[in-house]
Amino acid sequence: MTGPAIEEPSRPVWSWRADWTEPLRRDRVPVAVAAVLGVALLAWRLGPRPDLPAFAYLMVAGVALTAVDVRLRRLPDPLTLPSYVAGLVLLGAAVPFTDGGGGRLTAALTGLAALWALFAVQWFIVPSAMGFGDVKLSGVLGLYLGWLGPDAWVLGVLAMFLLGGLYSAALLVVRRARFRSTIPFGPFMLAGTLTGVLLYA
């Protein structure tokens, strides 16, 4: 299984010294509005649960990652890597106040390892199909999906590839891309995760 491989003809020039915060400053109003609406949606769906702060953090980080990936085709480490620590701390803090909290945390760690391994294998076999930033993000999303259980994990992963595949097919149909091109896959990973969260939270 590999990520969708479609891309618009032009690819943004990137350097590791590039300022990844530029898209967030440039689009600060829509990014802020999307983050607020996303957190409100989660608060409505989850209610006053102990794990709400963890999912609210994921929403805010996910909106920021989406904005950067769409503009720069990269998922910057300063947003992705701290999310492992934040997710573990916030979900861990919810364990004593959640029924079966210990089991949920174990499932979350299993989900993290499983999704990271799935994406790492894809990246190793077909490195042109996805960036290693997708691999690093996958562990974070697997953590949250695993917390919600195996059904949420499976649905979230399937939704990632389904949504990305549909978008890729649409670009091909309207001739906006070539078959061997690539798309920024991070937004579809996050959208698939949100699907699993909303249906199984």
Q: What is the pLDDT of residues 116-170, one digit of tens each?
A: 999 999 999 988 788 999 999 999 999 999 999 999 999 999 999 999 989 888 8
Give the three-state DSSP class for 7.
Answer: strand
Q: In angstroms, rounded to a whole number, what is the distance separating the alpha carbons of residues 38 and 175?
A: 32
Domain assignment present for residue 122? The answer is: yes
Over its C-alpha atoms, the chain yields an Rg (Å, rounded) of 17
Query: Average pLDDT of 173-201?
Result: 85
164 in a domain, yes or no? yes
Residue at 117 is within a domain? yes
Q: Which H or E element spans position 43?
A: helix 28-46
pTM given for the model: 0.89
The pLDDT tens digits of the residues spanning 77-123 come to: 999 999 999 999 999 999 999 999 999 999 999 999 999 999 999 99
Provide the Cα torsion 52, 54, 59, 60; round to 10°.
110
pLDDT computed for residue 177 by the predictor: 56
Please check the confidence at residue 18 and state whether its pLDDT lies above 80. Answer: no
Domain that holds residue 129: 22-200
The letter for the amino acid at 67 is A
175 located within any domain: yes
Check residue 163 and give its pLDDT. Answer: 96
C-alpha dist (Å) from residue 189 to 119, 140, 184: 11, 11, 10
pLDDT of residue 8 exceeding 60, the answer is no
d(Cα 89, Cα 53) in Å, to the nearest integer? 10
The Cα 107–Cα 157 span in angstroms is 15
What is the percent of the chain with per-residue pLDDT over 90, rounded to a whole number? 78
Q: Is 4 inside any structural domain?
A: no
For position 12, what pLDDT does the model report? 46
| 71 in a structural domain | yes
Residue 75: inside a domain, yes or no?
yes
Whether 149 contacts 107, CB under 8 Å: yes
Buried b (16+ CB within 10 A) or exposed e, 105-126: bebbbebbebbbeebbebbeee
- Chain centroid to Cα 50, Å, comes to 22
Give a yes or no: residue 8 inside a domain: no
Number of domains present in the structure of the chain? 1
